[in-house]
């Protein structure tokens, strides 16, 4: 977490937020220190905004929606703006990737992958903008009935710190394609690329007031935004308790919400699987972004005849994993902040105290700066399915293994948490692939593969406590719009 600093503390990088097409500081003049997780050093600051700034930004977005050209612009023109934004992301790819990695501590190759996905989101939604349409409905004689998709109006997007560029892009791409205007509140731990994207949006021709970015703490700027009466729809990705608070705030105004609240996603390895093909995917699904991924594959269910084989192959791989600074581009970077590191340490300590065996542990690179927030990867097995480690999201590089007896047992274990975001199924048996895909309760199911965070074309969202609503792909355009039914009586 950052701390307040006065504006006079000279930082190397001190961008303003973007409200109504202009770069502006917080009304209070206060700023938040930005720390690089790789070394714990302050390298920038952002405005510490609150209710007054949110009022301005929502007012600008409201005006841009009600009076501006954006919502009435031909869809193809809105799409072209988004496509140009994607091209600008590509043009500034190195700058954005470096900024994202420094702000979040993620390895540079992950920062680059995030920029590629970001570019693709704007490209995808740029192309989709004029391809969504309504229906005509057979109705009574003498009538013509039709539906059209209309924007909600002002969309509030509250963005987490794990994939700031990508999650902003999936929200902004879909919302803007449908003609909404936006107020974005990025996470206080990772706001720098959001500010940069809002600047590039102006350069792409998106009118001022359409794409506003307000930085600040969740409990101040975030709370003011989610409760704002002039906001029409709220979309949030983050932790379940914060999601509950945001839904309660939005409920006071009876506003719609999209909630993406994380998971405890299983990968299920049957004895007939191509285990060699599965192993790197099983490891990557929990190591990517240091395990700070909503769709991290944090549980592996292994059929008993191959449990020892898979557990020992994973142990070997885990022992060789190394965490280090983002520039070093090792297996994983630092965690986002000291609180997150503490949370992971507490989970690991509690699991060890509960008698769960550590099968393997990676290491932190000897040369990693001492002030960085590193945690080595840890592999646990066999884990009690009722334990906290089996049930709760750690959001760190901690993997839990579980043996299972047969297919019904695998289904039961896979569905035995409050979450339901993603699942991976590894088997060569085609009929079983289909049965498992149907029975596992998850918003995305991968068969003989896994996609932690990828797939901009693929609808994504949760069952159960993982949330509701769908993002990504064409489906997100429905969440970011409402159906209007029009009935003509022409006799
Ligand atoms: P973490 O606890 O790891 O910071 P959160 O899910 O709380 O993760 O944060 C995700 C986003 O939600 C961030 O942009 C944060 O500022 C914002 N946020 C946190 N608390 C609130 C709140 N009470 N109301 C609105 N937004 C919030």
- DSSP symbols for 231-255: --EEEEES-HHHHHHHHHHHHTTT-
Decide if pLDDT at 8 tops 50: no
What confidence category does residue 1 fall into, taking pLDDT thresholds of 50, 70 and 90? Answer: very low
What's the mean per-residue pLDDT of the chain? 96
Q: What is the pLDDT of residues 449-486, one digit of tens each?
A: 998 666 899 999 999 999 999 999 999 999 999 999 99
- The pLDDT of residue 12 is 66
Q: How far apart are CA 490 and CA 129, in angstroms?
A: 31
Query: For residue 41, what are the CA distances in angstroms to 33, 241, 292?
Result: 10, 29, 21
Provide the domain count of the chain. 2
Specify whether 271 is located in the same domain as 253. Answer: no
**Residues forming beta bridges with residue 291, ordered by sequence position:** none
Specify whether 46 is located in the same domain as 7. Answer: yes
Q: What is the pLDDT of residues 28-56, one digit of tens each?
A: 999 999 999 999 999 999 999 999 999 99
Q: How far apart are CA 163 and CA 168, in angstroms?
A: 8
Tell which one of 34, 53, 158, 237 to mutate to probe ligand 1, the residue whose CB is within 8 A of the most ligand atoms: 158
Decide if pLDDT at 2 tops 80: no
Ligand 1 atom at shortest distance from the alpha carbon of 243:
6
Look at ligand 1, atom 20, and give the residue with the nearest C-alpha.
218
What confidence category does residue 115 fall into, taking pLDDT thresholds of 50, 70 and 90? Answer: very high
Specify whether 93 is located in the same domain as 209. Answer: yes
H or E stretch at 110: helix 108-128
> Would 200 be classed as within a structural domain?
yes
Specify whether 273 is located in the same domain as 257. Answer: no
Q: Which of 123, 260, 303, 471 is catalytic?
A: 260
- The pLDDT of residue 453 is 63
What confidence category does residue 7 fall into, taking pLDDT thresholds of 50, 70 and 90? Answer: very low
Query: CA angle, 327 as apex, 325 and 330 as ends, to 5°?
Result: 60
Q: How far apart are CA 387 and CA 345, in angstroms?
A: 16
- Cα(240) to centroid(ligand 1), Å: 10
Specify whether 216 is located in the same domain as 162. Answer: yes
Decide if pLDDT at 174 tops 70: yes
> Would 491 be classed as within a structural domain?
no
Specify whether 330 is located in the same domain as 346. Answer: yes
Token match 């159960």: residue? 464
Question: Residue 199 belongs to a domain with what CATH number?
Answer: 3.40.605.10
Specify whether 252 is located in the same domain as 384. Answer: no
- Over residues 390-415, mean pLDDT: 98
Percentage of the chain beyond pLDDT 70 is 97
Q: What is the DSSP string of 303-328?
A: EHHHHHHHHHHHHHHHHT-EE--GGG
Q: What is the DSSP letter of 216?
A: -
> Would 417 be classed as within a structural domain?
yes
Question: Residue 326 belongs to a domain with what CATH number?
Answer: 3.40.309.10
- The pLDDT of residue 94 is 98
The two tokens of residue 277 are 């093909």
> Would 236 be classed as within a structural domain?
yes
What confidence category does residue 5 fall into, taking pLDDT thresholds of 50, 70 and 90? Answer: very low
Specify whether 477 is located in the same domain as 357. Answer: no
Specify whether 442 is located in the same domain as 305. Answer: yes
> Would 92 be classed as within a structural domain?
yes
> Would 490 be classed as within a structural domain?
no
> Would 427 be classed as within a structural domain?
yes
Specify whether 248 is located in the same domain as 313. Answer: no
Phi, then psi, of 398 in degrees rounded to 5: -125, 120
Q: Which residues sit with their C-beta closer than 6 Å to ligand 1?
A: 158-160, 185, 187-188, 218-219, 222-223, 226, 238-239, 242, 245-246
Decide if pLDDT at 6 tops 80: no
Q: Is 36 a catalytic residue?
A: no
What confidence category does residue 9 fall into, taking pLDDT thresholds of 50, 70 and 90? Answer: very low
Nearest to 327 by CA among 40, 39, 1, 45: 39
Residue 413 domain boundaries: 266-460
Ligand 1 atom at shortest distance from the alpha carbon of 225:
25
Specify whether 308 is located in the same domain as 386. Answer: yes
Taking the model in full, what pTM does it have? 0.96
> Would 154 be classed as within a structural domain?
yes
Q: Is 353 a catalytic residue?
A: no
Specify whether 271 is located in the same domain as 250. Answer: no
- The pLDDT of residue 10 is 42
Q: What is the DSSP letter of 293?
A: -
Token match 């060789």: residue? 320
The length of the chain is 491
């Amino acid at each position: 977490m950052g701390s307040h600093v006065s504006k006079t503390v000279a930082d190397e990088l001190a961008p303003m937020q973007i409200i109504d097409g202009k770069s502006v500081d917080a009304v209070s003049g206060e700023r938040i220190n930005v720390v690089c997780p790789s070394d714990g050093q302050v390298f920038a600051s952002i405005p510490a905004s609150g209710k007054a700034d949110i009022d301005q930004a929502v007012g600008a977005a409201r005006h841009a929606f009600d009076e501006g050209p954006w919502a009435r612009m031909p869809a193809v023109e809105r799409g072209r703006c988004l496509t140009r934004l994607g091209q600008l992301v590509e043009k500034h790819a190195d700058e954005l990737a470096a900024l994202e990695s420094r702000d979040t501590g993620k390895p540079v190759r992950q920062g680059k992958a995030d920029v590629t996905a970001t570019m693709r989101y704007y490209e995808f939604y740029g192309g989709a903008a004029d391809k969504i349409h309504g229906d005509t409905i057979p109705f009574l004689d003498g009538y013509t009935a039709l539906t059209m998709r209309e924007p909600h109006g002002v969309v509030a997007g509250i963005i987490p710190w794990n994939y700031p560029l990508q999650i902003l892009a999936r929200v902004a791409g879909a919302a803007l394609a449908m003609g909404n205007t936006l107020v974005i509140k990025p996470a206080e731990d990772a706001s720098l690329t959001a500010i940069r994207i809002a600047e590039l949006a102006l350069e792409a021709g998106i009118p001022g007031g359409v794409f506003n970015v307000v930085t600040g703490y969740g409990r101040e700027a975030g709370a003011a935004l989610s409760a704002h009466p002039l906001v029409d729809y709220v979309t949030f990705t983050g932790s379940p308790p914060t999601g509950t608070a945001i839904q309660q705030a939005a409920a006071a105004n009876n506003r719609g919400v999209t909630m993406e609240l994380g998971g405890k996603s299983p990968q299920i390895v049957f004895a007939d699987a191509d285990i060699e093909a599965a192993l790197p995917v099983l490891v990557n699904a929990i190591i990517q972004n240091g395990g700070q991924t909503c769709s991290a594959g944090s549980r592996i269910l292994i059929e008993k005849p191959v449990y020892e084989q898979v557990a020992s192959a994973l142990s070997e791989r885990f022992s060789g994993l190394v965490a280090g600074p983002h520039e070093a581009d090792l297996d994983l970077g630092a965690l986002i902040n000291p609180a997150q590191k503490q949370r992971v340490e507490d989970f690991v300590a509690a699991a060890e105290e509960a008698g769960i065996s550590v099968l393997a542990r990676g290491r932190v690179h000897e040369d990693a700066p001492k002030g960085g927030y590193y945690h080595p990867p840890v592999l646990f097995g066999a884990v009690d399915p009722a334990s906290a480690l089996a049930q709760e999201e750690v959001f760190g590089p901690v993997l839990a293994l579980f043996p299972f007896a047969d297919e019904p047992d695998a289904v039961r274990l896979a569905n035995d948490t409050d979450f339901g975001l993603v699942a991976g199924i590894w088997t060569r048996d085609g009929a079983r692939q289909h049965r498992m895909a149907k029975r596992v309760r998850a918003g995305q199911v991968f068969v003989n593969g896994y996609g932690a965070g990828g797939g901009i074309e693929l609808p994504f969202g949760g069952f159960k406590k993982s949330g509701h609503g769908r993002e990504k792909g064409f489906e997100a355009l429905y969440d970011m719009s409402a159906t209007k039914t029009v009935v003509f009586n022409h006799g």
